[in-house]
Amino acid sequence: MALELELTSPIDVAKNAVASVQDYVRLSAQSVGNFFRPPIYMGDMLQQADLIGFGSLPIVILTGLSVGALLALNSASTLQRFGGITLIGQLVSLGMVTELGPLITGLMVAGRNASGMASELGSMIVTEQIDAMRALGTDPSKKLITPRVGATAFMLFFLTIIADLLGLVGGWAVAHLLFGLDTNQYWTSAWQILVFRDVFTGLVKPVLFGFIISTVGCYYGMSTTGGTQGVGRSTTQAVVASSVLILIVDFFVTKLIFAVFGVR
């Protein structure tokens, strides 16, 4: 039996890539513009906030505690060699607030919710529910995409704050219970090391990450083709694409903030 291979021209691949970027930018712009024109589906937004925010709380709590504890544990052995065990609080505080807190929380929420959005919207595409909404005069972008974008960006902001706090708690548990560091000394050093730039960085990133997670998940869901197999493919692509974009945006946002506020 002969094996038939379908070859695609590099030009066609480039055209498809450019078209996908254009479609994604258009969807993202529409989702933001919908906030400034009625109607605003506040009920749908609150429902998504519950699903995305409170639904992700257990994994964010576990991740924050474990990352903070591991950061303190791995750094303590090195700091002990130089007699700098008292610096654990500063290291955990800077690491969690500026980088690890927003990044790990964003990746966890992306794995949980970008896939959920893609599969849910993809199933609606396959079963022609989206076409039925358009026939009834309802804008799918306002009804389905905008509430998810707003809820994800809003809830990821607070999930990151919770992850940062629990990361500091995990670091304190390791520093105090395993290395005997004074509690007051740990929390004082962790608080005093933070400056405006660190807090600003840690609070801007989750809003951007939430926007990326929701728009990427909705884009792949709304562009689903190929039936049930297409839904599974869109789900996988949404998680991969959102995670990669988060890592890329994290680097450039950090670099931009360093350029604006300067390096320590």
Determine the distance from the C-alpha atom of residue 257 to the mean position of all C-alpha atoms in its chain, rounded to a whole number.
Answer: 19
Determine the pLDDT at residue 1.
41
Whether 3 has a pLDDT exceeding 50, the answer reads no
What b/e sequence results for 9-34 when a residue is b if at least 16 CB atoms lie within 10 Å of its CB, and e otherwise? eeeeeeeeeeeeeeebeebbebbeeb
Task: Tell me how far CA of residue 152 lies from CA of 51, 108, 157, in angstroms.
Answer: 10, 13, 8
* pLDDT 10s digits, 107-120: 999 988 998 899 98
Higher pLDDT, 86 or 200: 200
pLDDT digits (tens, 9 = 90+) for 125-182: 888 888 888 888 888 888 888 999 999 999 999 999 999 999 999 999 998 888 888 8
**pLDDT given at position 105:** 93
- Give the whole-number percent of the chain exceeding pLDDT 90: 39
Q: At residue 194, does pLDDT exceed 60? A: yes
Length of the chain: 264
88 and 173 Cβ atoms separated by less than 8 Å: no
In this prediction, residues 206-228 reach a mean pLDDT of 90
CB count, 10 Å around CB of 225? Answer: 12
- Dump pLDDT digits (tens) for 5-52: 455 677 877 888 888 889 888 988 988 888 888 888 888 889 999 988
Average the pLDDT over 205-221 and give the result: 93
pLDDT at 208: 94
Residues near 231 by beta carbon (within 8 Å), at least 6 away in sequence: 118, 119, 122, 123, 126, 224
d(CA 255, CA 236) in angstroms, rounded, equals 29
Is a pLDDT exceeding 90 seen at residue 66? yes
Whole-number pLDDT of residue 263: 64
Mean pLDDT of 205-231: 89
pLDDT the model gives residue 133: 84
- Determine the residue type at 158: F
- pLDDT, the chain, mean: 87
Burial track 173-210 (b if 16+ CB lie within 10 A, e otherwise): ebbbeebebeeeebeebbeebeeebbeebbeebbbbbb
At 75-92, the pLDDT tens digits run: 887 777 777 778 888 889
Q: pLDDT band for position 245 (50/70/90)?
A: very high
How confident is the model at residue 2, as a pLDDT?
A: 46
